[in-house]
Amino acid sequence: MAAQARANALRPLLKVKIGGDNDMARIRAVREAAPASRIILDANEGWSDDNIVANLAFAAEHGIALIEQPLPAGRDGILRNIVHPVPICADESVHEA
């Protein structure tokens, strides 16, 4: 991921697909490889109630602009009760206008 981010580091915006083990290492690697790019993370429903708070905080510390669909569709109730240091958007959770 770092190599791909480095190859695209001159682009103003990068969308990075994550959502599994070692996401913090991936976030760090991409940010270090593309320090000037705005970064959107697509967690692909890969986070859980157990790791979302820590992952959001880490993403904020690394200047992430937006996180897309961090939790499985239909499991986003926890978002009402936690701090959002990075904006969150949904795609799989929204199926109608």
- Could you tell me which residues come within 8 angstroms of residue 43 by beta carbon, excluding any fewer than 6 positions away? 18, 19, 23, 55, 67, 68, 69, 70, 71
| pLDDT score, position 60 | 98
pLDDT at 59: 98
- Interval 7-43: pLDDT, tens: 999 999 999 999 988 999 999 999 999 999 999 999 9
Domain boundaries, the chain: 2-89
Which sign does the torsion angle of CA 2, 59, 46, 87 carry? negative
pLDDT digit string, tens, across residues 37-85: 999 999 999 999 999 999 999 999 999 999 999 999 888 899 999 999 9
Looking at the domain that runs over 2-89, which CATH code has it been given?
3.20.20.120
- Does residue 97 have a pLDDT over 80? no
